């Protein structure tokens, strides 16, 4: 199985697009993930070939109709994955099921895997809600960003191993960011005070990789997705971030590459 490490373009918006690709390639990533609400260059396929990179499309839609309208230009650019922040946390079970039924039909029609993100504010904001949808839709695939569930449950998910086990069964994409009981992103995962959350998240990521290999998946995408301030902790008054997020992303990628031998 091929593991693709993708650089999140979150925090790189001020950098010209091709310069981002140069930096991403030089840093040792296999590709990148970018939100398609940003205008992408028309020559993206040629740039991907030039730099030997792959990409994943990240998109946000409240409704399946919005998602369907957004698909044609994404499909033309041939991403490895579409990562969907989909639906809303206030949807009733019936509304959620209707949304997912349509999304799964669209996924089948385009032939590109769609990874539904476990994200606050969205349909999969809660592990308990997600469990019901995963049981309802066996073909549903996830982007595992379990840091959000840590915030929602104010825990490191110690008491819901059964739900985490089900989620890791379905994960084809990982947002490898360490969260903790009070936030979706620790100030710096390299710091000793965040040893326990780091260890817990790496256990989940290891499990996802092992299960993907066991079921015969040909690829797994991993995105060290640490966001800039104000998502990242910043000092009062000066608003200076407490660490460099690109250094942290690089550290997280290299740590996993070494750990997994890939």
pLDDT for position 39: 87
Helix locations, the chain, DSSP H? 17-26, 44-51, 64-76, 93-110, 127-136, 147-153, 161-170, 195-214, 245-260
Q: How far apart are CA 29 and CA 23, in angstroms?
A: 9
**Number of domains within the chain:** 1
Q: Is 123 within 8 Å of 84 (Cβ atoms)? A: no
Sequence length of the chain is 262
pLDDT for position 162: 97
pLDDT for position 182: 96
CATH of the domain at 47: 3.20.20.150
With b meaning 16 or more CB within 10 Å and e meaning fewer, what string describes 155-166?
ebbeebeebbeb
Give me the average pLDDT of each 10-residue run along the chain (262 residues). 98 96 98 94 96 98 98 96 98 98 98 98 98 98 98 97 98 98 97 98 98 97 96 94 96 98 96
**Domain around 126:** 2-260
With b meaning 16 or more CB within 10 Å and e meaning fewer, what string describes 173-198?
bbbbbbbbeeebbbbbbbeeebeebb
pLDDT for position 191: 98
């Amino acid at each position: 199985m091929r593991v693709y490490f993708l650089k999140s373009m979150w925090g790189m918006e001020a950098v010209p697009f091709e310069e981002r690709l140069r930096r991403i390639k030089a840093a040792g990533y296999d590709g990148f993930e970018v939100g398609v609400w940003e205008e992408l260059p028309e020559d993206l396929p040629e740039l991907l070939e030039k730099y030997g990179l792959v990409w994943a499309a990240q998109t946000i839609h409240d409704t399946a109709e919005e998602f369907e309208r957004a698909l044609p230009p994404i499909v033309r650019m041939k991403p490895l994955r579409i990562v969907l922040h989909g639906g809303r946390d206030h949807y009733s079970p019936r509304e959620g099921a209707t949304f997912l039924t349509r999304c799964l039909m669209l996924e089948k029609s385009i032939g590109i895997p769609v990874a539904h993100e476990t994200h606050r504010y969205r349909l999969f904001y809660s592990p308990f809600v997600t469990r019901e949808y995963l049981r309802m839709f066996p073909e549903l695939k996830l982007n595992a960003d379990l840091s959000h569930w840590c915030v929602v449950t104010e825990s490191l998910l110690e008491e819901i191993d059964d739900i985490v086990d089900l989620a890791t069964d379905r994960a084809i994409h990982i947002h490898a960011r360490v969260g903790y009981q009070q936030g979706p992103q620790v100030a710096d995962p390299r710091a000793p005070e965040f040893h326990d959350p780091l260890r817990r998240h790496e256990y989940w990521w290891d499990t996802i990789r092992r299960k993907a290999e066991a079921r015969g998946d040909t690829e797994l995408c991993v995105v060290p997705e640490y966001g800039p301030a104000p998502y990242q902790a910043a000092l009062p008054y000066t608003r200076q971030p407490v660490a460099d997020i690109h250094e942290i992303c690089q550290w997280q990628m290299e740590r996993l590459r070494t750990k997994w031998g890939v």
